[in-house]
Chains A and B, each alone.
Chain A
Amino acid sequence: MSKDTFNTVAIGRREVLKSVGFGALALAGTSLGSSNAQATPEEATKYLSEMTGGAAAKEGKVTVKLPEIAENGSTVPITISIDSPMTDSDYVKSVHVVAEGNPNPEVVSFNLSPAMGKAEVSTRMRLGKTQNVRAVAIMSDGSVYSGLKQVKVTIGGCGG
Chain B
Amino acid sequence: MKYTKYITSAAGLLGLGAILVACTPAPTMKTGYDYAIPETQAMQDDDFSNPAFVWVDIGEEQWSTVDGEAGKSCESCHGDASSMKGISTSYPKYSAEDGKMRTLQHQINYERTERMKAKAWKWEGDEMLGMASFIKNQSKGMPLNVSIEGEAAPFYEAGKAFYMQRRGGLDMSCKNCHMDYPGVKIRANVLTNGLPNGFPTYRLKWQKIGSLHRRFRGCNSNIRATPYKQGSDEYTNLELFLTHRANGVAVETPAVRN
- Which residues of B201-258 have CB atoms within 8 Å of chain A's CB atoms? 203-205, 207, 215, 217-219, 221-224, 233-234, 258
Contact check, A23 vs B169: say whether CB atoms are below 8 A apart: yes
- Contact residue among B158, B180, B187, B207 (Cβ-Cβ distance under 8 Å from A10): B180
Contact check, B258 vs A71: say whether CB atoms are below 8 A apart: yes
Contact check, A1 vs B205: say whether CB atoms are below 8 A apart: no
Contact check, B164 vs A7: say whether CB atoms are below 8 A apart: yes
Contact check, A67 vs B37: say whether CB atoms are below 8 A apart: yes
Interface string of A79-110 (1 = CB under 8 A from B): 00000000000000000000000000000000
Contact check, A71 vs B173: say whether CB atoms are below 8 A apart: no
- Which residues of A1-35 have CB atoms within 8 Å of chain B's CB atoms? 1-8, 10-11, 13, 16, 19-20, 23, 25-26, 31
B165 at the interface (CB under 8 A from A): yes
Interface size bracket, B side: 35 or more
* Separation of A156 and B38 alpha carbons in the complex (Å): 20
B176 at the interface (CB under 8 A from A): yes
* Separation of A10 and B166 alpha carbons in the complex (Å): 11
**B161 cross-chain contacts in A, Cβ below 8 A:** 4-6
Given the known interface contacts A7-B166, A72-B205, the answer about A160 and B219 at a Cβ–Cβ threshold of 8 Å is: yes
B138 at the interface (CB under 8 A from A): no
Interface size on A, residues (CB 8 A): 34
* Separation of A10 and B231 alpha carbons in the complex (Å): 29
- Which residues of B163-180 have CB atoms within 8 Å of chain A's CB atoms? 164-166, 169-173, 175-177, 180
Interface of B is mostly: mixed
* Separation of A5 and B167 alpha carbons in the complex (Å): 11
B189 at the interface (CB under 8 A from A): yes
- Contact residue among B171, B173, B205 (Cβ-Cβ distance under 8 Å from A74): B205
* Separation of A4 and B155 alpha carbons in the complex (Å): 12
- Contact residue among B39, B164, B171, B185 (Cβ-Cβ distance under 8 Å from A19): B171
14 A–B contacts from the bound complex (CB under 8 Å): A3-B165, A4-B161, A16-B181, A19-B170, A23-B169, A25-B187, A71-B40, A71-B258, A72-B203, A72-B204, A76-B39, A155-B188, A157-B187, A159-B189
Residues of A within 8 A of B (CB): 1-8, 10-11, 13, 16, 19-20, 23, 25-26, 31, 67, 69-72, 74-77, 154-160
